[in-house]
Amino acid sequence: MKTKIIGAILVLAVLAGVTFMLSDKDKETPKKSETKLETKIGDKIYVAVEEAGELAVIDAKDRNVIKRIDLSEEIGGMKIGFMPHNVQVAPDNKSVWVTANAMDMNKEKVSFFKIPKASADEGHGEEGGMKVNDEVIVIDPFTDKIVKRIEMGTDLHLSHVALTSDSGYAIAAAQTKGIVYKINTKTYEVEKEAITEKGGEPHGLRISPDGKTAYIAMLKGKSIGVLDMEKMSLSYIPLKGAAVQTGVTPDGKYSLASVYDAKSLAVYDIASKKLSYVDLPKEAKGPVQLYPTPDSRFVYVADQGYYFNQPNSDLVYKIDLREMKVAETIKGGNAPHGVAVSQDGKFVYVTNLLSDDLSVIDTALGKEVAKIKVGKMPNGVSLFYGEGLSLSASGDENGNLTTEDNAFNFGTVPMYGGKVKHSFSLKNNGQGPVKISKIYTSCMCTEATLITGNAKIGPFGMPGHGGLTMRKSQSLSSGEEAIIEVEVDPAAHGPQGTGPAKKVVYIETDDSQRLQMILDINVTP
């Protein structure tokens, strides 16, 4: 089904989609009694850099771009680029999902404002172009490699993707065709489709915490589409303007929608079925993406403007859902667009379409504290938390093993320069003891040693490739600290082992807690 798209139709798809190029991710925080997150801000930030046809991968701690994932593919002897519109890290942190629309990289650079048309003599079809399917692309966040391309069809303008809280299903919207697809995340098969009202143009979408209902922003339909995830049937909540993005508060109380032309936030009480609006200040130009805080108290809204002959904005609004009013106005970049909030609620990340950067907003200070250059036309943004993320329960006797930092980059290392080492700190932040039952690595070149006080236990290596196995669990009492010393031999794989690589150290406890420490290394000859 691969080869067939035409430039003219592709132009239509892209131009239709450019009317609203918007994105974010809604990762639901698990509800537990008296539970707090130990990990602070996440490990990596994924940004869909639409016009560049790539994902920018950002170190959340150091706030710099550490990798760019090229989404292009060779099809029929031509390099075809894919413009990522939306990106979402799965709630289980095991995959990254991207909606990507095809563009021809062999012609002059494609932009949203200057899209080359295929000439009639190119011999690629009756309309003079080559047809290529738009795709949902799946990426492994631990290697940042593409693991699956799901071909969805042509002339779709795939807008947003969202996943159920158990990461079992994804839904994706085809804006120009008016279709919402339900995709099995294990088989990568489209199991069902829902056809929206004619001309409705589904755009942003989010799924309720229980996974039973999705809420879809209908651009031309001026409504919130309510999708029954099991039956894949739709009903609609009429709005007073064009809906760009939806959201669902983590407590499941409200469905939210940005209403662009009405310059307001729609707040729909799911239980009472009552619809209310929070009007934005007079200076607002047009709200697009939104994202609620983990405590369900606030929602951050990007006031982009820019579309429909509106002037650009540089403001982000913090709306109090309890008081139903704007609580703060925060200045950011040019045309703020995609929004994501960290799981601890301390930081908000906002892509800026026209200044080509990502704003980092400190929620305690209520202001932008950093800007990160990411590339031309950044759209969606989503946060990845490694398996070092753990939950600690207060008020019980459970142990809780945590690591302050679970990633390190050795940089460039010569093959025959000798082994390199790095140490990670561990701590039991729980109220009871924690027992470490397993330590192992992802590669035969990597070994890890547990250091507690004056005792060294290990080294432990890749299962089946030497190294010790723990004969009995190593206990850490409440508040006790330990060290994991990691040693990597860059010469272990010989010349075939040169280039960038990722090594992982795994730690498991008796109560099924699992941490991982990720090390990046670039081996040169």
Give residue-wise pLDDT tens across range 407-423.
899 999 999 999 999 99
More confident residue, 128 or 168: 168
Is residue 428 within 8 A of residue 478, CB to CB? The reply is yes
Q: Does residue 389 surpass a pLDDT of 60?
A: no
Residue tagged 């067939």 (tokens):
4
Residue tagged 């390190």 (tokens):
408
Give the bridge partners for 400, in sequence order: none
Which H/E stretch holds residue 18?
helix 7-18
Q: Does residue 509 surpass a pLDDT of 90?
A: no
Is residue 245 within 8 A of residue 290, CB to CB? The reply is yes
Which among 353, 54, 296, 337 is positioned nearest to 203, based on CA atoms? 337
Give residue-wise pLDDT tens across range 350-362.
999 999 999 999 9
Q: What is the C-alpha to C-alpha distance for residues 445 and 436, in angstroms, rounded to an integer?
A: 23
Q: Does residue 169 surpass a pLDDT of 60?
A: yes
Q: What is the C-alpha to C-alpha distance for residues 115 and 12, in angstroms, rounded to an integer?
A: 10
Q: Does residue 371 surpass a pLDDT of 60?
A: yes
Q: Does residue 344 surpass a pLDDT of 90?
A: no
Q: What six digits make up the tokens of 462?
A: 């890749």
Least trusted range by pLDDT, from 322-326, 349-353, 389-393: 389-393
Which among 519, 507, 518, 517 is positioned nearest to 401, based on CA atoms? 507
* pLDDT given at position 233: 97
Q: What six digits make up the tokens of 415?
A: 């093959």
More confident residue, 14 or 204: 204
Is residue 75 within 8 A of residue 5, CB to CB? The reply is no
* pLDDT given at position 129: 53
Q: pLDDT > 70: what percent of the chain?
A: 84
Q: What strands lie across the sheet with 357-362, from one edge to the other?
A: 336-341, 347-352, 357-362, 367-373
Give residue-wise pLDDT tens across range 201-258.
999 999 999 999 999 999 999 999 999 999 999 999 999 999 999 999 999 999 999 9
Q: If you compute the radius of gyration of the chain from its CA atoms, what whole number of angstroms results?
A: 24
Instruction: Find how far residue 190's CA is from the centre of its chain.
Output: 21
Least trusted range by pLDDT, from 4-8, 110-114, 315-319, 379-383: 110-114
Q: What is the C-alpha to C-alpha distance for residues 369 and 458, in angstroms, rounded to an integer?
A: 42
459 phi/psi in degrees, rounded to 5: -80, 155
Which among 337, 263, 383, 291 is positioned nearest to 85, based on CA atoms? 337
Mean pLDDT calculated for residue range 57-62: 92
Give residue-wise pLDDT tens across range 61-81.
889 999 999 999 988 778 889
CB atoms within 10 A of CB 430: 25
Highest mean pLDDT among 8-17, 127-136, 393-402, 504-513: 504-513
11 phi/psi in degrees, rounded to 5: -55, -45
Task: Using pLDDT thresholds of 50, 70 and 90, give the confidence band for residue 515.
Answer: confident
Q: Does residue 522 surpass a pLDDT of 90?
A: yes
Q: Does residue 401 surpass a pLDDT of 90?
A: no
* pLDDT given at position 290: 98
What fold does the segment set 7-30+44-384 form as a domain? Methylamine Dehydrogenase; Chain H (2.130.10)
More confident residue, 391 or 68: 68
* pLDDT given at position 402: 84
- At residue 10, the 3 state secondary structure works out as helix
Mean pLDDT calculated for residue range 39-59: 85
Query: Is the pTM for the entire model greater than 0.75?
Result: no
Which H/E stretch holds residue 131?
none
Given 3.90.550.10, 3.90.1150.10, 2.60.40.10, 3.20.20.70, which CATH number is that of 391-524? 2.60.40.10
| CB under 8 A, 24+ apart: contacts of 73-81 | 73/149, 75/2, 75/3, 75/130, 75/132, 76/2, 76/3, 76/130, 78/104, 78/105, 78/106, 78/130, 79/105, 79/106, 80/104, 80/105, 80/132, 81/53, 81/105, 81/110
Least trusted range by pLDDT, from 15-29, 112-126, 252-266: 112-126
> Domain-by-domain residue ranges, the chain?
7-30+44-384, 391-524
Q: Does residue 511 surpass a pLDDT of 80?
A: no
